[in-house]
Amino acid sequence: MTLVVDGLAARRGGRAIFADLSFAVDAGDALIVTGPNGVGKSTLLRICAGLLPPFEGHVTRPDRVALMAEAAALDPDRTLAQALAFWSKVDGADDPDGRVEDALADVDLAQLARVPVRMLSTGQRRRAAMARVVASGAELWLLDEPANGLDAAAVARLEVLVERHVERGGSAVVATHLPLHLPATQRLVLEGGA
Amino acid sequence: MIALILRDIRRGYAGGGATLVVIFFLLTATLFPFAIGPDPALLARVGGGVVWAAALLAALLPVERLVAPDLEAGVLDQIAVRGRSMAAVAAAKIAAHWIAFAPPLMLAAVVAAALLDLSAETLERVEIGLAIGTPGLAALAVATAALTASFRGAGALAGLVMLPLAVPLLIFGAGALDGGEGAFKLLGAVSLLLVAGAPFVAGAAMRTAME
């Protein structure tokens, strides 16, 4: 059992956004979370990542978690490869530069490795953030709207990457409002108006 | 953590950050002769204190860039996801900030001493005092940066938070100029206290800011 969420309730600004949410994501599982804007998809992911304390309930997560959030968290003045290598070093990877190279090839950004992050477009930054997730080698991927700003080819590549991760025994939770063709074994629809 | 320290040191020196601190420090130090008159005897007497006051003001300058950009860019989120404690992150930031800020400041103090016509003996005491006091200043700067990171226009607020807390450093740093050996010890004590306490304060503040 990789990620277990039990009786989870969350509040934001004193307002309950969802309550009594329970699910489990095993190794080799993917969960797709859908629902309208503001329903708490990002909040759910941040709680799963351990960035927010749950208002009620428990979350059990694996040791190594990768989060793709809205913010890129890449130093704009560094080259793409350097910015990603920093995170790979924080992850404690043996060969940070090699990992980053592989991950950049996976998201088809290898030719931009030496370009400063500030020169990248929105979609390219999203792909760079995806490369960080790939390079992390984490068991659990938490992807918050990973397809935002991506073109059709990049969306297809994203789907392949998630599928590969799941096939290798990883697990993923993907929050999205776009239709993604993922090998999801579970779906969770968050309803508004709670 | 080493990677984080190296990154923050690089960010400290990049974009003219350290240069700006040095120039601001020297500018502040040169303001005093204009304000109180160019009498060499008077300047030599107040010069050491002027250097300390200028150092304190210069330490305020980079506060806005220490934590707020990392909070906004999601860097703190990504570090937290990797299971690192925010107190450790704050400690790394203090170490990095000290390395990026203290050596240029101490070099600039030599220039300031020349501008203010300080004796070699006073300069030596200023430099020893700065070496002991700047870790405390760096710790205070990171704690202030963390506390004010989630506010807009945190610069002015940072000054209000940081300067009163830095007063003990100023008192003992400037007090040591007159030859009181005890002042160095008290300066060291204040500096150690700040270095020991600031990571936890800054860590808790960063955690709260992320929620």
Chain B residue closest in CA terms to A12:
B211
Q: Which residues of chain B does A50 touch, with a Cβ-Cβ cutoff of 8 Å? A: 80-81, 83
In this complex, do A77 and B15 lie within 8 Å of one another by their Cβ atoms?
Answer: yes
Q: Are A34 and A189 in contact (CB under 8 A)?
A: yes
The amino acid at B36: I
CA gap A25, A166 in Å, rounded: 11
Q: Which residues of chain A does B79 touch, with a Cβ-Cβ cutoff of 8 Å? A: 90
In this complex, do B81 and A49 lie within 8 Å of one another by their Cβ atoms?
Answer: yes
CA gap A34, A191 in Å, rounded: 9
What tokens does B70 get? 């990392």
Point out the residues of chain B with pLDDT beneath 50. Answer: none
pLDDT tens across A10-68, in order? 888 788 888 888 999 988 889 999 888 888 888 999 999 999 989 999 999 888 899 99
- pLDDT confidence of residue A128: 93
- Whether A86 and chain B come into contact, CB under 8 Å, resolves to yes
The CA-atom distances, in angstroms, between A70 and each of A63, A73, A149, B150 are 22, 9, 11, 17
SS3 per-residue string spanning B59-108: HHCCHHHHCHHHHHCCHHHHHHHCCCCHHHHHHHHHHHHHHHHHHHHHHH
What tokens does B129 get? 């005092």
- Whether A56 and chain B come into contact, CB under 8 Å, resolves to no
Q: Which residues of chain A does B80 touch, with a Cβ-Cβ cutoff of 8 Å? A: 49-51
In this complex, do A87 and B83 lie within 8 Å of one another by their Cβ atoms?
Answer: no
In this complex, do A73 and B78 lie within 8 Å of one another by their Cβ atoms?
Answer: yes
Q: What is the ipTM of this complex?
A: 0.90
- pLDDT confidence of residue A194: 45
pLDDT tens across A91-134, in order? 888 888 899 999 999 999 999 999 999 999 999 999 999 999 99
Which of A67, A70, A89 is closest, CB to CB, to B3? A89
Q: Which residues of chain B does A46 touch, with a Cβ-Cβ cutoff of 8 Å? A: 77
Note the Cα A136 to chain centre separation in Å.
Answer: 11
In chain B, what are the domain boundaries?
2-210
The amino acid at B129: G
Report which of residues B16 and A8 the model is more confident about: A8
